[in-house]
Structure 1
């Protein structure tokens, strides 16, 4: 069995108002190569941007990889590592039978994870972690740009 290429992905979302203009940012690193990605929406929420950042990071990879994905969002990390199996079992409903919020993004993230071996890592936001700070700057800049549209 061939070893999968290792990629580090740092993801973040930002929103200027919640809801409001939002942005997402991604820093991908494979060895000494780096790639930055970002985008935004005129009216969104922070949680949607956090999910979008993780989806964009994984879908940007052209082949299956072993991805160390860092996020400062407990919502994203706990959703994928703790809650999603129950949601799927319950027909995308929460434990109290309400529809899962942002279901289309959760489904897209599950599909994107299916192509890769993802190792989730939580980092404290705004604590000086270099990869997270770069992803945060990309997301924040994209949110500001989305607010100008």
Structure 2
């Protein structure tokens, strides 16, 4: 059984953002994080799950993802995202990330567990620290090209 703990953060929403991930399987433990110069909290919450699932080396794993993001969990557990696929994501945000998510999600047996954020859940608190630190590392922020292109088209950037 593999456990993935995730969190995302954005300052300004949109603004600089980051994600934090903990992977745990038995005695194995790994932390991952990254930041973007312009993004949203929802994108970083979803990116954290994508990064966590993408880090798994072999397909067919039984995975439990722990997240404080109702956006991510409800979209999958209530099967909204599968309806969005059928409609070509018409009127929905983050199509690029949802498509990436579905590619890695389908490789495994994934169960989601919601955890209340900022409620002293040790792994969630650690993921939050990783996400915030990544969002503040101005010298290492990547470009969320898809998001910035969409914002440019809408005149927001």
TM-score normalised to the size of structure 1? 0.89
**Which segments of 5 or more consecutive residues in structure 1 lack a partner in the other structure?**
1-5
- 1:1-149 to 2 correspondence within 5 Å? 6-64=1-59, 65-82=61-78, 83-93=80-90, 98=91, 100-146=92-138
Q: Secondary structure of the equivalent of 1:52?
A: helix
In the alignment of these two chains, the number of paired residues is 139
Counterparts of 2:67 and 2:139, CA distance in 1:
24
* CA distance, structure 2, for counterparts of residue 92 and residue 23 of structure 1: 24
Which contiguous aligned blocks of 4+ residues in structure 1 show a shift greater than 2 angstroms? 146-149
Q: Unpaired segments of 5 or more residues in structure 2?
A: 142-157
Pair 146,80 (structure 1): closer, same or farther in 2 beyond 3 Å: farther
CA distance in 2, matches of 1:44, 1:38: 15
Deviation at 1:131, TM superposition (A): 1.2
| Deviation string, structure 1 residues 17-69 (Cα, Å, up to 9, x no partner) | 11111000000000011000000001111111111000000000011211110
- For residue 126 of structure 1, give the secondary structure of its aligned residue in structure 2: coil
CA RMSD between the two structures? 1.3
**Contact persistence 2:35–2:140 (CA under 8 A):** no
Partner-residue secondary structure (3-state), 1:92: coil
Q: TM-score, normalised by structure 2?
A: 0.84
